[in-house]
Amino acid sequence: MHSLCTVATQKFLTFPWFSVSSVREMNLSVQAKLPDGQSLPLPPLILAELGKDPQKPTVCFYGHVDVQPAKKEDGWKTDPYTLTEIDGNLYGRGATDNKGPVLAWINAVESFRALKLDIPVNLKFIIEGMEEAGSLGLEEIIKKENQRFFSDVDYIVISDNLWLSNRKPALTYGTRGNICFSVEVRCGERDLHSGSFGGIIHEPMTDLIALLDSLVDTSGRILIPGVYDDVASLTEEEKKLYEAIEFDLEEYKNNSGVKKFLYDTKEEILSHLWRYPSLSIHGIEGAFHEPGIKTVIPAKVIGKFSIRQVPHMDISIGEHQVIKYLEDVFSKRNSPNKLKVSVPISAMPWVADINDPLYTAARMAIKTVFGQDPEMIRDGATIPIAQTFQNITRKSVMMLPIGAADDAEHSQKEKISRHNYIQGTKLFAALFLEIAKLHGQLQEASNTTTTN
Amino acid sequence: MHSLCTVATQKFLTFPWFSVSSVREMNLSVQAKLPDGQSLPLPPLILAELGKDPQKPTVCFYGHVDVQPAKKEDGWKTDPYTLTEIDGNLYGRGATDNKGPVLAWINAVESFRALKLDIPVNLKFIIEGMEEAGSLGLEEIIKKENQRFFSDVDYIVISDNLWLSNRKPALTYGTRGNICFSVEVRCGERDLHSGSFGGIIHEPMTDLIALLDSLVDTSGRILIPGVYDDVASLTEEEKKLYEAIEFDLEEYKNNSGVKKFLYDTKEEILSHLWRYPSLSIHGIEGAFHEPGIKTVIPAKVIGKFSIRQVPHMDISIGEHQVIKYLEDVFSKRNSPNKLKVSVPISAMPWVADINDPLYTAARMAIKTVFGQDPEMIRDGATIPIAQTFQNITRKSVMMLPIGAADDAEHSQKEKISRHNYIQGTKLFAALFLEIAKLHGQLQEASNTTTTN
């Protein structure tokens, strides 16, 4: 990750339109704590800026250059780390999450320069390399730079999620949060032979499987008491927003490869993706995971699951509820094994005001580039920086995706289409113009109000 | 495996006491089927012989040169594939299972040659390279050679298990069988992001976890109906055998690293290890298994578990019971996911007659070398060849371990002690003498009976 971030910095440094002094590598004081206890320095954060005209609004773009793990043998047709075009799609890890959108924004800026047009806004960039690991250290920098780098920022734009469909552009006003849990059950220090100990010991896998099986029922309902207590009630206004969305259920199913969902209607599906919590079990560390057979009793197994949180759930209450529940379930088993539950990462959910001028400008830009209105959507995934930026800087924050629903972020065969990459570039350029226009009108209105 | 086996063959070919013509590499006609569908030729089997004196009994030794997987990062202190001596122990994958005992047998033969002593028995060797993968192809060869290679064999000795304690020698008269199950649950072809699909799909991991959780309770009891129906009842004679065993429960616990077992008494523990079935869950393939976090919904997950079978359980009945049970549990979940249960490997349990002359000879040899009587034990693990040899050849089959209980076979830091390796060599040499003596007495008795 460090080297990727350094490469990105060098890229910024070589753009002729940035003076060297306007790009800074921020070294983070915190360290990444690896699961094995090892500490690693974090990759630096990049802060860059272009333009300081006090008459222009200032737009800050956030992006990240780190990616999820990917190996060709996971099921990729091409090397995940060599961008490969097939039938109009650009395949590669990070193509849509998030290197593609970062480059599209840079392309938009470069277009103005190539056409010798005045860029109608002042630009700032904040690029990090720890997003996929929970944006470690980012909050610290935002706090530190709040009165400096962010002081003259008017709008913050994040393009780190996807449209709801493959073809219809969208604007995102909310994301779910996430609490990740690690549940360790241990009987000793070394794995045992199931022939030599099977039948006479409490196997940690049996305990762990029972704990994981106590979390969620077959209908997807989370079984932990109290989890739904603070979930916001669905308002009539919100219902109407869902009804207005053109959601192609069949297309969404096809993108997932899953034949049957838990719900049948658009409203049920969108609300369970966006505004209700969900629990997913990701896997088990320490057990046998390879093809074939190994008749082992693993001595230490760690189950990994996460709960997508929604407004107005509270992370610390959620943590407490889950840990207490797991400890209760475990104590009923009378197992002599050791249980340890930890929360390596958590992030709060986020909701924005869709009547903010930034959203108005983006709607206009989308109408210009795509010839249609955007869908007003939320994202079921967690992009913690939206909440972090909004909380600390109190600026307008918007998520403006350019990737399509079938981009397979975090999965095998991640891609961005050539079409979306180019139209996304145009969209960002159009956004600069619309923001400038709207900002001028707002200032004029404010001046008129003042002179009246 | 192939190369290992070839090396072993070359070793045989270079022993001056084998004429080249007495060592054969048997190529197997079946192929190994890998989990990914690929077929591989099996490594050849080695048949070797030394001596053809019709006055002497013929002893056939079985061993294997393949090993369980091992990586240094699993928790080894030394490279698992470089034999390393530390404090009188020889560490390395295969040190006790089963390369050490194979070499000890060869050393015993070499000792007679070095001392220019007549070897009192005719010797045969059968060495394979597929034991850890279920001895694929071995049965075919035994059947094929039953009227040739095995026709003049009197006794078959296997040294592929461990003593019950760290210090007391043992003789093994039974082993458990094993049925390995693979339980695949699939929702589609590619993994999904838990943010984009968490809450709206039936996750395969949730189904699999529920299936695995339905197998065994916290007391170790298997929950599959009918599993215990054919388990032999514990006889009074058998009880007495258990009572006579000096079993150091604390030592066995220390060897395992486990603080508390499911049972407290020697009889309960030994019977649950040897003559009652057990079920162990080994792991899950296809889910996230690395350190850290990956917020993935795995699309295809394969749970691996196995049931150690005991007399008089039947493999095909067991398979049927488990598959039917899993299908029942799954159908109650109303999941649209696909379930597939398969049995990649199974092997029958084995019990021998402890009054056979081969066991008498071994008891004498143990008394000579170790100065004490052996423990008469069974093995909770599965060494399918004992049953296979007994079934096909109808010869006397005995398991004569030389490794100690703390040898960590199949685990990290596998070893054999220098002491056991050397005493084991002596034991095999003494066994040749005892078998010859007993065989002579038996023949004499048989002649006397005839002349009377």
Considering CB atoms only, which of B290, B291, B336 is closest to A260? B336
Please give chain B's pLDDT, 452 residues, in tens: 333 344 445 555 555 554 434 677 777 777 777 767 788 888 888 999 999 999 999 999 999 999 999 999 888 999 999 999 999 999 999 999 999 999 999 999 999 989 999 999 999 999 999 988 878 889 999 999 999 999 999 999 999 989 988 889 999 999 999 999 999 999 998 899 999 899 999 999 999 999 999 999 999 999 999 999 999 999 888 888 888 798 888 878 887 899 999 999 999 999 999 999 999 999 999 999 999 999 999 999 999 999 999 999 999 999 999 999 999 999 999 999 999 999 998 989 998 988 899 999 999 999 999 999 999 999 898 888 899 999 999 999 999 999 998 999 888 999 999 999 999 999 999 999 999 999 888 888 877 765 54
Give the Cα separation of A280 and A287 in Å (integer).
19
**CATH, domain B177-227+275-347, list 2.60.120.340, 3.40.50.10740, 3.40.50.2300, 3.30.70.360:** 3.30.70.360
Residues of A with catalytic function: 66, 131
In this prediction, residue B21 carries a pLDDT of: 42
CB contact under 8 A, A202 and B193: no
pLDDT tens figures, A62-80 = 999 999 999 998 889 999 9
In this prediction, residue B439 carries a pLDDT of: 85
Give the Cα separation of A266 and A271 in Å (integer).
8
Q: What is the DSSP string of A292-315?
A: S---EE-SEEEEEEEEEE-TT--H
CB contact under 8 A, B193 and A284: no
Q: Are B432 and B119 in contact (CB under 8 A)?
A: yes
Give the Cα separation of B377 and B389 in Å (integer).
19
Band of pLDDT at residue A20, cut at 50, 70 and 90 = very low
CB contact under 8 A, B296 and A411: yes
Considering CB atoms only, which of A190, A209, A381 is closest to B212? A209
Set of chain B residues whose Cβ sits within 8 Å of the Cβ of A257: 187-190, 192, 299
Q: Is A174 in a helix, a strand, or coil? A: strand
Chain B nearest-CA residue for A189: B257
CB contact under 8 A, B190 and A409: no
Set of chain B residues whose Cβ sits within 8 Å of the Cβ of A210: 213, 218
Nearest CA among A426, A442, A435 for reference residue A368: A426
Percent of chain A with pLDDT over 90: 71
CB contact under 8 A, A282 and B298: yes
Q: A116: exposed, middle or buried (C-beta count within 10 Å: 0-12, 13-18, 19+)? A: exposed
Q: Are B231 and B150 in contact (CB under 8 A)?
A: no
CATH no. of A177-232+275-347: 3.30.70.360
Handedness of CA B290, B292, B296, B301 (dihedral sign): positive
Q: Are B99 and B27 in contact (CB under 8 A)?
A: no
Q: Are A197 and B381 in contact (CB under 8 A)?
A: no
Handedness of CA A109, A110, A112, A116 (dihedral sign): positive
Nearest CA among A161, A50, A151, A52 for reference residue A392: A151
Give the Cα separation of B433 and B438 in Å (integer).
9
CA distance A104 to chain B (A): 23
Structure tokens at B263: 């049972």
In angstroms, what CA-CA distances link B202 with A223, A281, B195, B286? 15, 11, 14, 16
CA distance B133 to chain A (A): 8
Chain A nearest-CA residue for B190: A412
Structure tokens at B438: 């007993």
CATH fold, domain B2-175+349-451, is Aminopeptidase (3.40.630)
CB contact under 8 A, A197 and B298: no
Percent of chain A with pLDDT over 70: 94
Nearest CA among A199, A189, A302, A286 for reference residue B412: A189
Handedness of CA A161, A165, A168, A171 (dihedral sign): negative
CA distance B327 to chain A (A): 15
CA distance B380 to chain A (A): 5
Of B49, B97, B128, B131, the active-site residue reads B131
Give the Cα separation of B205 and B85 in Å (integer).
44
Q: What b/e string do you get for A340-355 counting C-beta neighbours within 10 Å, with b at 16 or more?
A: ebebbbbbbbbbbebe
Tell me the β-bridge partners of B157. B61, B398
Band of pLDDT at residue A18, cut at 50, 70 and 90 = very low
In this prediction, residue B11 carries a pLDDT of: 56
Asked about B79 being catalytic, the answer comes back as no
Asked about B66 being catalytic, the answer comes back as yes
pLDDT tens figures, A42-62 = 888 899 999 999 999 999 999
Q: Is B112 in a helix, a strand, or coil? A: helix
Nearest CA among A47, A81, A78, A49 for reference residue A66: A81
Give the count of Cβ contacts less than 8 A between chain A and B. Answer: 321
Set of chain B residues whose Cβ sits within 8 Å of the Cβ of A293: 133, 180, 282, 304, 306, 344-345
Measured between alpha carbons, how far apart are the two ends of chain B, in Å? 55
Cis, bond preceding A289 (omega within 30 deg of 0): no
DSSP-derived pairing of the beta strands B58-64 and B122-128: parallel
DSSP-derived pairing of the beta strands A89-91 and A170-175: unpaired
- A36's enclosing H/E stretch is none
Query: Tell me, what amino acid is at B32?
Result: A
Set of chain B residues whose Cβ sits within 8 Å of the Cβ of A381: 193-196, 295
In this prediction the ipTM stands at 0.79
Q: Are A136 and A42 in contact (CB under 8 A)?
A: yes
Domain coordinates in residue numbering, chain A? 2-175+349-451, 177-232+275-347
CB contact under 8 A, A187 and B257: yes
Chain A nearest-CA residue for B204: A281
CA distance B121 to chain A (A): 33
Q: What b/e string do you get for A35-61 counting C-beta neighbours within 10 Å, with b at 16 or more?
A: eeeeeeebbbbbbbbbbeeeebbbbbb
Q: B181: exposed, middle or buried (C-beta count within 10 Å: 0-12, 13-18, 19+)? A: buried
CB contact under 8 A, B379 and A195: yes
CA distance A287 to chain B (A): 5
Of B49, B66, B207, B379, the active-site residue reads B66
In this prediction, residue A300 carries a pLDDT of: 98
Considering CB atoms only, which of A35, A69, A297 is closest to B294? A69
Inform me whether the pLDDT recorded for A189 exceeds 60: yes
